[in-house]
Structure 1
């Protein structure tokens, strides 16, 4: 009974052992992550600058939209008041 359990455990161990990382694999991963962190840092800074510019433009746009519209007095006095358009229809002819 112990030999069967030991054989199963040994087979499981032999199946997992080739998939484990070696010291060289860890060093290669560390070097690659270090290279990626420098690129990531540039992207993070560029993204933050873009966010600040975007929110600044949004704030300026909203302030322009929400600003009350004041028309100068000269424009109001110079324009005549709008006259209504009246259309008269002739009555229908009797048959």
Structure 2
């Protein structure tokens, strides 16, 4: 199974699509579930490709939470192998206008 993560109403080119292979997405989705279960998994799990995701408000909330936690050290950017992927995802989410996973 592969996943295609797209922005619903992107406000910038970087918000159109989040380029990531499926194993990396599965790991990232699990990390987001663990760190932000009330945001990332508020509706449905992201481990599938059936059109789950977030609306614009949820995507911006998640982007802000990731950014905040990278800045305040909750996510250790040096020790966390996924820190750069999380950073890229936060930027994508902020500019996505909502996220859909297919």
* TM norm structure 2: 0.21
Answer with 1 or 2: which has the greater Rg.
Answer: 1
Please state which structure has a larger fraction of its residues in strand: 2
Please state which structure has a larger fraction of its residues in helix: 1
